[in-house]
Amino acid sequence: MKMSDSMDGGMDNTMSEGMGGGMGGGMGGGMGGGMGGGMGGGMGMGRGGGMRGGRGGRGGGDRNMGNRSQDDRLMERIMAISGPTHELPPQETTEKKFSGRNRLYIGNLTNDVTEEEIQQMFQQYGEISELFVNKEKNFAFLRMDYRVNAEKAKHELDGTMRKGRALKVRFAPHSSTIKIKNLTPWISNELLERSFSVFGEIERAIVIVDDRGKSTGEGIVEFCRKPSAQLALRKCTEGCYFLTASLRPVVVEPFEQQDDVDGYPDKNLPRKNPEFFKARDIGPRFAQLGSFEHEYGTRWKQLHELYKQKEEALKREMAMEEEKLEAQMEFARYEHETELLREQLRMREADRERQKREWEMKERQAEEQRTREEELRRRQQEEMAMRIRRQEEELHRRQQENNLFMQEQAIRGGGGGGGKNYDSVSNSDRDGYGQPDGGSGMPVDPKSFMDAYNTMDRGSRGGGYNDDRGQIMDLMDMRVDMGNMGGGGRGGGGGSGRWQGGNDRNRQDDYPNKRRRY
């Protein structure tokens, strides 16, 4: 009884004053004294460490703000690992140094014990860390470097006498351990460690299996620090934490450690209790049939059999309820996925209708654009045709004027003397000026007329006209000359004019403009 009270009291005081108070100060907002004092008290760095941890715990800060920021960071870490978990790296098999499984409890000490004495007592088995001594309640805690050294120290120092008292050396309960239930068969050690690593650093995570290696649906997670275990317990109790695609949330409970190695030795029994001697007066035996002992022994066995039957019936009922819930869950999942597909289909149809409307609008715009372009092209063609008709009419009018002019000049030139001999030009040529077909009207088309005109121009610049059109152009030049000379001398003094001689006709400055309209 004293050992259990000492262990419980030591754990409560140590963890509350040192680790609890220190971490409370560190997380609560004590940036300097909170974190420093918290770590000093929690890690057990001396007598003053606990007080420093306590003072750190009283550090100021808004706890609600800290909790909100902590929850936000937790959700970010969970989102980072929420992807597929088909391939996970294997767990590290190397043992971590100074883990929580190597923590020892030393009880039944005297109040004059010192830290140096305990260090000298345990340092021969390995390295020591986080030594904490409570002289008021006569117990101490420390951590060994490895499990094998802790087991060796426990085995050799447990029960040794010190100042008339037998030391009690046991493994301290791992307060940062939680038990995980309701695991699916597809959860392994690696997935369990990965899933709970978001709450804090993990020392060990295993899934409990039976003698055939099949998962029992339960597991154990050991954190490095107690606040991490408390955070995981709180969050998984308040919410539903899923580890796989299954909708079976994990159930987290505090782990109740049971010592199945050392058990309960006879030296730990309270021999001063009167019940001890009363119970030990008679040794092991079988009851005789029909005796008083056999009757009540049978009743005890029946009571345990009834408990076993009820437990099995409850397990069967629980299994049936689980199967029923699994079926409902699968049906609900199917309905949910179907509804999601319907929603996606509705969205696709709405998107298709929107695209269809956009395509129709674009087609209408393209059709309107084509219509406008065709209308513009038609108008341009009509305008071009009108310009061509006007040009043809203008050419036809000019041709008629030239014909009339040539007839008039031919009549006037017949009675004059001197100058050039215009009689050499035949009447047919004068009557058919610009008419290759004998003067039957306007040329075949304006292009042929302009080509003929250009040919005459090139011929005139070469030193003379080579066809009938050249003679006609001479007549036009003569008309211009006579207009400058006056009415009476148009046909008289032809020998001394500027049209006399062949060399003067090649001068471009004196050459009249053949395109001039009269």
DSSP annotation string for 99-133: -GGGEEEEES--TT--HHHHHHHHGGGS-EEEEEE
pLDDT of res. 454: 55
* Residue predicted with more confidence, 33 or 310: 310
In terms of Cα–Cα distance, which of 70, 46, 55 is closest to 24? 55
Nearby residues of 463 by Cβ (< 8 Å), 6 or more positions away: 502, 505, 506
pLDDT of res. 300: 92
For the stretch 210-235, what's the b/e string if a residue is b when 16 or more beta carbons lie within 10 angstroms of its beta carbon?
eeeeebebbbbbbbbbbbbbbbbbeb
pLDDT band with cut points at 50, 70 and 90 for residue 218: very high
pLDDT of res. 165: 87
Q: Is the pLDDT of residue 87 over 70?
A: yes
pTM tops 0.75, yes or no: no
Residue-wise pLDDT for 186-203, tens only, equals 999 999 999 999 999 999
Q: Would strands 128-134 and 103-107 be described as parallel, antiparallel, or unpaired?
A: unpaired
pLDDT of res. 298: 92
pLDDT of res. 433: 43
CB neighbour class for 453 (10 Å; exposed up to 12, middle 13-18, buried from 19) = middle
Q: Is the pLDDT of residue 449 over 70?
A: no
Q: Is the pLDDT of residue 350 over 90?
A: yes
Q: Are 173 and 7 in contact (CB under 8 A)?
A: yes
CA angle in degrees (0–180, nearest 5) for 373-379-384: 125
Backbone angles phi, psi at 132, to 5 degrees: -135, 130
* CA atoms of 60 and 34, how far apart (whole Å): 8
- DSSP character for 395? H
In terms of Cα–Cα distance, which of 200, 116, 107 is closest to 157? 107
Q: Is the pLDDT of residue 463 over 80?
A: no
Averaged over 233-254, what is the pLDDT?
92
Tokens read off for 244: 């796989």
pLDDT band with cut points at 50, 70 and 90 for residue 30: very low
Q: Would strands 139-144 and 177-181 be described as parallel, antiparallel, or unpaired?
A: unpaired
Tokens read off for 132: 């904490």
Residue-wise pLDDT for 378-426, tens only, equals 999 999 999 999 999 999 999 999 999 999 888 887 654 444 444 444 4
pLDDT of res. 364: 94
